[in-house]
Amino acid sequence: MVQQSLVAFIISQHQAGQTFEAINNFLIASGYDRAEVESSIQYVINLTTNPQLAVNQRIQQLSYYIRQQQQAGYPLDTIKTFLVGKGYPYYEIDSAITLITAPAKEIRVEHKLIVFALIAIIVISGAVSFFYFKVFVFIAKPSEAGALLDVKVNKLTTVPIPGEDFIFTTDVINFGKQQPYDITLRYRVIKKDTDQTVFEQEETVAIATTTQRVVNFALPEDVTPGNYILRTDAIYGNYTATAGVIFTIEPAQIARQKLEEIRKHVPIMEEKKPNITAPTAVVPPSAFPLKPAQPAQQPVSVAPPKPVKPFEGKTKEEAFEIVKQVAVREPNRAAGLCQTFEFENNIIQCITLLATFKTQGNFCEFINRTHGKDSCYLQVVLQTQDAQYCDKIMAEQAKNSCKLMGLAKTVPALTQAAQQPDIYTLFGGIGLSKLPTGNETAENSTTQAPT
Residues 154 and 181 in one domain: yes
Over residues 255-286, the pLDDT tens digits come to 888 878 776 654 444 444 444 444 444 444 44
**Residue 298 pLDDT > 80:** no
Say if 357 falls within a structural domain: yes
State which of 93-102, 115-124, 231-240, 345-354 shows the largest mean pLDDT: 345-354
Over residues 400-420, the pLDDT tens digits come to 778 777 665 555 554 455 454
Name the β-bridge partners of 171: 152, 212
Among the candidates 234, 251, 268, a domain finishes at 251
Residues 97 and 172 in one domain: no
Q: What mean pLDDT is reported for the chain?
A: 71
Mean pLDDT of the region 225-245: 86
Say if 303 falls within a structural domain: no
pLDDT confidence bin for 154, thresholds 50/70/90:
confident
Among the candidates 75, 108, 136, a domain finishes at 136
Residue 399 main-chain phi, psi, to 5 deg = -65, -40
Spatial separation of the C-alpha atoms in residues 445 and 441, rounded to whole Å: 6
Residues 30 and 58 in one domain: yes
CA-to-CA separations, 291 to 129, 294, 304, in angstroms, rounded:
77, 8, 16
Residues 369 and 411 in one domain: yes
Spatial separation of the C-alpha atoms in residues 384 and 395, rounded to whole Å: 20
- The answer to whether 129 touches 49, Cβ cutoff 8 Å, is yes
Number of domains in the chain: 3
Residue type, 93: I
Residue 211 main-chain phi, psi, to 5 deg = -150, 150
Residue 438 main-chain phi, psi, to 5 deg = 85, -10
Residue type, 189: V
Say if 79 falls within a structural domain: yes
Percentage of residues of the chain with pLDDT beyond 70: 65
pLDDT of residue 136: 35
What is the value of pTM for the model shown? 0.35
Say if 284 falls within a structural domain: no
Range(s) of the domain holding residue 35 = 4-136
